[in-house]
């Protein structure tokens, strides 16, 4: 599961890392939530092209946009079989840049769930494996949407959750984006848990619980926030 994430990186850094020539106008984001616009990178005539798409995949055959709220994630084990995702997996793969994501664990003694921020120790941007689709309304409006693939957790994340987003190493980005370079079985072979080396899991305050909250406050750690989750000790890979 991945229901919130961040993209705080400098645009120039994103252009360099993702080998782009430009970016749409974006601001640092600390609490990206479903149905909001997210940055994606797609392949167009051999070039990586950035766009802003609505988060929550709506297949082209859907009756309305509401289905997207239930499709912010797609399970990598079945994505090639499910009607909602099958065509997108075959033909419309994308990268979704991020530099961290949030998950929640149960609070102590039935209290508020504790948000945890998963990120690289150096906060370098990375890429979720994503799919996209294009949907046309009866009024003629075209809406492009996307979803983030998930997989089983690595050893670090498994202490807290039974799923994690698919985070692709940079040397797999071109293969993932290219619809003709590999077979479906080869592409599915990329959908594995991320190498835990260099990852950190940091408890943050409850401000991020509100989808409307934005800014550095989402990563602030109030004095009453536990520095380790209840019963857990290993935070760094």
pLDDT value at residue 138: 83
219 located within any domain: no
Q: Is residue 21 part of a domain?
A: yes
For residue 214, indicate whether it is catalytic.
Answer: no
Residue 215 lies in a domain: no
Residue 232 has pLDDT above 90, yes or no: no
Exactly one of 2, 94, 146, 218 is catalytic; which is it? 2
Residues spanned by the domain of 155: 4-101+124-198
Q: What's the rounded Cα separation, in Å, for the pair 206 and 185? A: 41
- 3-class SS at 38? strand
In the chain, the percentage of residues whose pLDDT exceeds 90 is: 79
Residues 145-173, mean pLDDT to the nearest whole number: 96
211 is a domain residue: no
Are 150 and 75 in contact by the 8 Å Cβ rule? The answer is: yes
**Per-residue DSSP letter, 236:** B
Provide CB contacts within 8 A for 72, sequence distance 6+.
2, 3, 34, 55, 56, 57, 147, 148
pLDDT band at 164 (very low <50, low <70, confident <90, very high): very high
Q: Is residue 236 situated within a structural domain?
A: no
Q: What is the mean pLDDT of the chain?
A: 90
Task: Decide: residue 150, CB within 10 A, 0-12 exposed, 13-18 middle, 19+ buried.
Answer: buried
Determine, yes or no, domain membership for 43. Answer: yes
Q: Determine the pLDDT at residue 174.
A: 94
Q: How high is the pLDDT of residue 231?
A: 39
- Nearest to 54, CA basis, from 81, 1, 14, 94: 94
**Given 94, 103, 144, 218, the catalytic residue:** 103
Would the pLDDT of 181 be above 90? no
Asked whether residue 233 is assigned to any structural domain, the reply reads: no
pLDDT digits (tens, 9 = 90+) for 34-43: 999 999 999 9
Q: Report the CATH number at residue 85.
A: 3.90.1680.10
> Worst-scoring range by mean pLDDT, 9-18, 28-37, 60-69, 114-123?
60-69
More confidently predicted of 32 and 233: 32
Residue 177 in any domain: the answer is yes
Please give the C-alpha separations between residue 63 and each of 34, 58, 78, 119, 166, in angstroms, as whole numbers: 19, 9, 23, 37, 29
Query: Known catalytic residue: 146?
Result: no
Total domain count for the chain? 1
């Amino acid at each position: 599961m991945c229901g919130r994430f961040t993209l705080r990186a400098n645009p120039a850094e994103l252009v360099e890392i993702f080998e782009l020539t430009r970016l749409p106008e974006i601001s640092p984001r600390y609490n990206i939530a479903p149905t909001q616009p997210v940055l994606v990178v797609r392949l167009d005539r051999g070039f990586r092209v950035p766009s802003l798409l609505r988060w929550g995949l709506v297949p082209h055959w859907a009756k309305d946009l509401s289905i997207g709220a239930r499709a912010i994630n797609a399970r990598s084990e079945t994505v090639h079989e499910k009607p909602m995702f099958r065509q997108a997996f075959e033909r419309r793969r994308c990268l979704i840049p991020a530099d961290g994501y949030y998950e929640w664990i149960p609070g102590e003694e039935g209290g508020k769930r504790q948000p945890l921020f998963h990120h690289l120790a150096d906060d370098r941007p990375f890429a979720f494996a994503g799919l996209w689709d294009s949907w046309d309304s009866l009024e003629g409006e075209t809406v492009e949407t996307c979803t983030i693939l998930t997989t089983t957790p690595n050893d670090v994340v498994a202490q807290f959750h039974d799923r994690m987003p698919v985070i692709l190493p940079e040397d797999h980005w071109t293969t993932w984006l290219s619809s003709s370079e590999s077979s479906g079985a080869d592409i599915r072979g990329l959908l594995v848990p991320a190498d835990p080396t260099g990852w950190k899991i940091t408890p943050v305050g409850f401000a991020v619980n509100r989808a409307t909250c934005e800014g550095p406050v989402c990563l602030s750690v109030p004095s009453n926030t536990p520095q380790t989750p209840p019963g857990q000790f290993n935070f760094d890979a």
